[in-house]
Structure 1
Amino acid sequence: MQYFIFAVWWVPFAVYLSDTLHLEVYQVSLVLCAMAIGSMASSFVGLIADRHFASQKVLASLNLLTAIFLFIASQQTTFIGLLVTVTLVMLFYMPTWSLTSAIAMTHVPAEQFPRMRLMGSIGWVASGLFSLVAVYLFNVERFDGSAYPLYCSIAVGLVAALLNLFLPDTSPLQKEERKLSIKDILGLRTLAILKNKNFNTFIIISFFAIIPFTLYHVYGSMFFADEQVKNITVTMNWGQVAEMFFLFITTCILTKFGFKKVLLFGLIAMLLRYGSFYIGIEFNQQWWYSIGILTHGLIFGLFFVGGQVYTDKVAPKEIRAQAQGFLSFIIWGVGFLAGTLINGRMIESFRLADKCNWSILFLVSTVFTLVLILLFAILYNPTDKLDKHKL
């Protein structure tokens, strides 16, 4: 349900902003930066969950507020109105990603988390059903790029808020009455984990890896709209179908290959994604796009979810929620913000008469990802016990 809420409206949202509401590219970029701003609140929400309230109740409250502000956002047609309301939506929604991870890892072994996260992918794929039902059963001319996805997300958010109350109790681990400090508020106690050089390398590479990742994740719907692809949400959701498979086997892959190789596999998949998009454009063969879409499962399952498992293994038990929040802050916060703005600027710069010169953007992302692969392979040294252990 948690990923169902998001996927319904986020996947086609860029098209809605640009083609339906006719916002300029830089305005679209600024509105979409709301996701990054919301992620930056994750460490603070992790602090609340760690110290003060049951995590499942915090999650229910956040989903309820998300639904309320999604409704308000659906009524907006101006840049300022959308910027404010979508930012509020994301401030309440984005912390739920790290919070659900922390709840799951409290009740199941961390190495089993990828299989539990598989349900999130199923929810993401199921979001495409709204589009199919609207178009083929109710004869809605245009679902993707309209306000209908927002209305669907509101309904899902309300149901999710109710279901959250029935999750296993996840009470605060920190019972001691320690004075709240600036370090706690900002989640800076998690910085101690950076003493682990391999984790430090992972965080830095993750920050830069999210920049090319956002080109597809944020602006992918604009690319497919320029390519005249129909049913954009359903088309892009094939990536989540592949993700379901790879999440199911992530534990086995981690056991066999260890963290370094698994994270490298994820980066190599991103190289394959943008390389296939580039080839597809250059040779005018859209079937190459299918490869780029399907690699999403490898990228997200191995690099990002594998990274969550790695973070859980590194972090002390009492700050795991904050550690997941810190990871979310770096990747989905600061990194996502940089990626959204940089790629938005590049799209605007390479915009031709009626569409963007996507070929150049995909070539740049391919080369950039190759550099990250080489750096990670050189700098990450799997010598300690954590990297060598068998899950």
Structure 2
Amino acid sequence: MNPTTKFRLSLMMFLEFFVWGSWYVTMGTFLGNNLAAKDQDISLAFSTQSLGAIIAPFVVGLIADRYFQAQKILGVIHILGAGLMYLLYSSKEFSGFFPFLLIYMILFMPTLALVNSISFNQMKSPEKEFSVIRVWGTIGWIAAGILISYLAWDSQEGLANGLLKNTWIMASFVSLALGIYSFTLPSTPPRAKRSGEFKLSEALGLDALALLKHKNYAIFFLSSILICIPLAFYYQNASPFLTEIGVENSTGKMTIGQISEVLFMLALPVFFSRFGLKKTLIVAMLAWAIRYVFFAFGDADSGVWMLMVGIALHGVCYDFFFVSGQIYTDSHAGEKFKSSAQGLITLATYGVGMLIGFWAAGQISNYFLNTEGFHDWKSIWLIPAGISLLVLLFFISFFKSEEIKPEHKP
């Protein structure tokens, strides 16, 4: 890949995840402080991500693999998203906020598959090249979090003055910039050939389900769904948890997870090549269990180091599972269904798995909420730790070691 293309794709990833990181980390805190939302409301808000992810493979399969160039679809979605972000910024109560968020996430979630597809289309060896591009998405997420804490929007004073709502207007402007920029990205034309006869399964991208005929991939797919149940606890509860127990500048501190993500993203090709797919995924799932144990026993005083280590483990959790999974999915998809295959794994992880996880996290958080408005966080965090350990045992038992063969590479 030439340096110019690498830069263009890296900037795309940076902006994509800057937009998401601008509001996603702090949404639970924002809803509780600015819109007086309850745990169930916050759970419902985060579930919009999952609903969007479930729809994503059909949108991508229908459009990106068969009808229009992926970069143009990306541009249209982010321009529309900029308008929706402004409407979220203007919302005064949760009942008016939720519909706009739902529409936004239905539009946004397919873009995660689209940016991957645009990137893979320019690569000859994704297992070596993709992590170098994808790491800029993590840097974009870090930049958003550090900026929020630098501007003190998430400080006690900022929360008292309602400044956290500014995250939405920041996301709106960056989304608009990315939408315009997307039209300049390398051409990613539809790859699946359209026959004269219309087939609904092809139009909706359901042909990518053929990947599940491969037993090993089916085990990976199911494990992806299951491991995202405990992951939802982190996304939904981490910011409110740190804020409630008194950790200052929590958004900035949570970027430690993304900083470690940068390091492990760069280390992934070496680890992947030396230890293979199965061991890489095992390390990721083990890290999930450990991080939640640290959250359960850490505190804002002498145990703050446990919280910081738990946050730092995000790099291992995310990179070693999600990025490896995207590469593994691409290797099985081949040329024909690159976009819809990425949409399929998005459905499994951000869709079905997290939908269950967000619902469970909301119910469990509410169950462990006392009459004074404080949570029993130790009990809450030990539950996803246990789930992670069970998923790990399932994966170790049934997934067979597999090498990504040359003929599978794009």
TM-score (norm 2): 0.90
Distance 1:237 1:30 in 2: 25
- Aligned partner of 1:20 in structure 2 is 34
Distance 1:67 1:274 in 2: 34
Matched residue type, 1:56: Q
Distance 1:247 1:371, change over 3 A: same
Distance 1:220 1:145, change over 3 A: farther
- Aligned partner of 2:92 in structure 1 is 77
- Aligned partner of 2:65 in structure 1 is 50
TM-score (norm 1): 0.94
On the 8 A contact 1:74/1:147 being kept in 2, the answer is: yes
On the 8 A contact 2:34/2:165 being kept in 1, the answer is: no
Q: Mark the runs of 5 or more structure 1 residues left unpaired by the alignment.
A: none
Distance 2:323 2:402 in 1: 22
Distance 1:104 1:364 in 2: 37
Distance 1:152 1:384 in 2: 43
Write out per-residue CA displacement over residues 21-47 of structure 1, whole angstroms, 9 at most, x where no aligned residue: 111211121122111111122112322
Following superposition of structure 1 onto structure 2, how do residues 332-371 of structure 1 map, counting pairs within 5 Å?
332-352=350-370, 353-371=372-390
**Percent identity between the two aligned chains:** 28
Deviation at 1:133, TM superposition (A): 4.1
Q: Are 1:218 and 2:236 an aligned pair?
A: yes
On the 8 A contact 1:114/1:251 being kept in 2, the answer is: yes
Write out per-residue CA displacement over residues 52-82 of structure 1, whole angstroms, 9 at most, x where no aligned residue: 1111100001111111111111111222211
Q: Are 1:116 and 2:133 an aligned pair?
A: yes
Deviation at 1:182, TM superposition (A): 2.5
Q: Are 1:33 and 2:33 an aligned pair?
A: no
Matched residue type, 1:314: H
- Aligned partner of 2:19 in structure 1 is 5
Following superposition of structure 1 onto structure 2, how do residues 177-196 of structure 1 map, counting pairs within 5 Å?
177-196=195-214
- Aligned partner of 2:185 in structure 1 is 167
Deviation at 1:257, TM superposition (A): 0.8
Distance 2:133 2:220 in 1: 23
On the 8 A contact 1:255/1:390 being kept in 2, the answer is: no
Bigger shift: residues 325-334 or 36-45: 36-45
Write out per-residue CA displacement over residues 118-140 of structure 1, whole angstroms, 9 at most, x where no aligned residue: 0100101110243244239xx98
- Aligned partner of 2:4 in structure 1 is none
Distance 2:66 2:136 in 1: 28
Matched residue type, 1:90: M
- Aligned partner of 2:6 in structure 1 is none
SS at match of 1:147: helix
Which of the residues 322, 326, 340 maps onto 1:304? 322
Q: Mark the runs of 5 or more structure 2 residues left unpaired by the alignment.
A: 1-14
Deviation at 1:320, TM superposition (A): 1.2
- Aligned partner of 2:79 in structure 1 is 64
Matched residue type, 2:257: G
Distance 1:180 1:39 in 2: 25
Which of the residues 83, 99, 118 maps onto 2:114? 99
Matched residue type, 2:152: V
Bigger shift: residues 4-13 or 277-286: 277-286
Distance 1:382 1:155, change over 3 A: same
Matched residue type, 2:44: L
On the 8 A contact 2:294/2:307 being kept in 1, the answer is: yes
RMSD over aligned Cα atoms: 2.2
- Aligned partner of 1:380 in structure 2 is 399
On the 8 A contact 1:56/1:165 being kept in 2, the answer is: yes
Distance 2:237 2:300 in 1: 19
On the 8 A contact 1:12/1:144 being kept in 2, the answer is: no
Distance 1:42 1:364 in 2: 29
Number of paired residues?
Answer: 388
Write out per-residue CA displacement over residues 99-156 of structure 1, whole angstroms, 9 at most, x where no aligned residue: 10111011012212122100100101110243244239xx983488721100110111
Write out per-residue CA displacement over residues 146-196 of structure 1, whole angstroms, 9 at most, x where no aligned residue: 211001101111111111111111111124334332313443211111111
Matched residue type, 1:327: I
Which of the residues 206, 211, 219 maps onto 2:224? 206
Distance 1:385 1:56, change over 3 A: closer
Distance 1:381 1:304 in 2: 18
Matched residue type, 2:90: Q
Which of the residues 79, 86, 95 maps onto 2:101? 86
